[in-house]
Structure 1
Amino acid sequence: MKRSGILLLLCIFLLQHKSNAQDHMYSQFFNSPLYLNPALNGQFPADLRMNLIYRNQWASLPGTLNYLTASVDYNVPRFGGGLGLMVTRSSEGSAYLTKTNFSGLYSYSVGSDEYVLSFGLQGGMTNRKIDWSKLIFDDQIDQTIGIIPGQTSSAELPAFNNKYYFDSGAGVSLTLNRLLVGGALQHINKPNETLTGSKATLPMRSVFHISYRLPLDSYGGGDDEDGSYIIPSIVAYNQAKVTAINAGLQYKNRGVNAGLWYRSSGNTGQEAFVLTFIFDLFINRDGGEKLRLGVGHDANFSKVNYTNSTGSTEGSLGYETTLPKRDNEAKKFPGARRCFDFY
Structure 2
Amino acid sequence: MRIKKNHTGVLLMLLFGMSSYAQDHIYSQFFNAPVYLNPALTGQFDGDIRMNLIYRNQWSGLSGDLSYISASADLNIPKFGGGVGLLFTRSSEGTAYLTKNNMAATYSYSVGGDELVASFGIQAGFTNRRIDWDKLVFSDQIDMRLGYIPGSISSAQIPDVSSKFYFDAGGGINIVYRNFMIGTAIHHINKPDESFTGAQAKLPMAITGNASFRVPLTPANSYNAADGAYLIPSVVYYKQAQASSLSAGIQFKYRSINTGLWYRSSGKGSPDAVVVSFMFDIFTGSRNGEKLRLGISHDATTSKINYTNTSGTTEGSVSFEKYFPGSSGYNKFNGLRCYDFY
TM-score between the two structures when normalised by the length of structure 1: 0.90
Q: Partners in 2 of 1:193 and 1:18 — Cα distance?
A: 16
What stretches of structure 1 of length at least 5 have no aligned partner? 1-5
Query: Partners of 1:45 and 1:267 in 2: how far apart?
Result: 38
After superposition, give the CA deviation of every residue in 1:86-112 in whole Å (9 maximum; x if it has no partner).
001100001100011100000001111
Q: Does the Cα contact within 8 Å between 1:219 and 1:228 map onto a contact in 2?
A: no
Contact kept? 1:242, 1:267, Cα under 8 Å: no
Deviation at 1:287, TM superposition (A): 1.4
Which amino acid is 1:337 matched to?
L
Q: Which residue does the alignment assign to 1:176?
A: 177
% of aligned pairs identical? 54
- The 5-angstrom pairing of residues 95-174 of structure 1 reads 95-143=96-144, 145-174=146-175
Distance 1:7 1:113, change over 3 A: closer
CA distance in 1, matches of 2:73, 2:303: 37
What is the Cα deviation at residue 43 of structure 1? 0.6
Amino acid at match of 2:310: S
CA RMSD of aligned residues (A): 2.4
- Judged with a 3 Å threshold, the aligned counterparts in structure 2 of structure 1 residues 28 and 221 are, in CA distance, closer, same or farther, namely same
Change (3 A) 1:181 1:261: same
* Cα shift readout 1:219-264 (whole Å, capped 9, x = no counterpart): 5326444311101001011111322110000001121111000000
Q: Give ranges in structure 2 of 5+ residues lacking alignment.
A: 4-10
Whole-Å separation in 2 of the counterparts to 1:63 and 1:304: 16
Equivalences for residues 324-335 of structure 1 within 5 A: 324-328=325-329, 335=334
Counterpart residue number, 2:85: 84
8 Å CA contact retained: 2:263, 2:274: yes
CA shift for structure 1 position 144: 5.4
Tell me the equivalent position of 1:228: 229
Q: Indicate the residue corresponding to 1:257 in structure 2.
A: 258
Shift of the alpha carbon at 1:60? 1.4
Decide whether aligned partners of structure 1 residues 17 and 274 sit closer, same or farther in structure 2, where only a CA change above 3 A counts.
closer
2: CA distance between counterparts of 1:197 and 1:123?
24
Shift in Å, 1:7? 4.2
Aligned length: 331
Query: Structure 1 residues 311, 7: CA separation in 2 closer, same or farther (over 3 Å shift)?
Result: closer
Question: Runs in 1 of length 4+ with deviation above 4 angstroms?
Answer: 14-21, 142-145
Question: 1:16 Cα shift?
Answer: 11
Q: Which amino acid aligns with 2:217?
A: L
Give the TM-score normalised by the residue count of structure 2: 0.90
Q: CA offsets per residue over residues 55-113 of structure 1, 9 Å max, x none?
A: 11111123211010000000011143100000011000011000111000000011112
- The yes-or-no answer on 1:280 pairing with 2:281 is yes
Q: Kindly indicate whether the alpha-carbon contact (under 8 Å) linking 2:179 and 2:223 is maintained by their aligned counterparts in 1.
A: no
SS in 1 for 2:294: strand
Whole-angstrom distance in 1 between the partners of 2:64 and 2:163: 19
Residues 80 and 108, structure 1, Cα contact 8 Å, conserved in 2: yes
Equivalent-residue separation in structure 2 for 1:195 and 1:125 (angstroms)? 16
Show the counterpart of 1:342: 341
What residue number does 1:3 align with?
Answer: none
Contact 1:27 1:296 in 2 (8 A): yes
Q: What SS is found at the alignment partner of 1:264?
A: strand
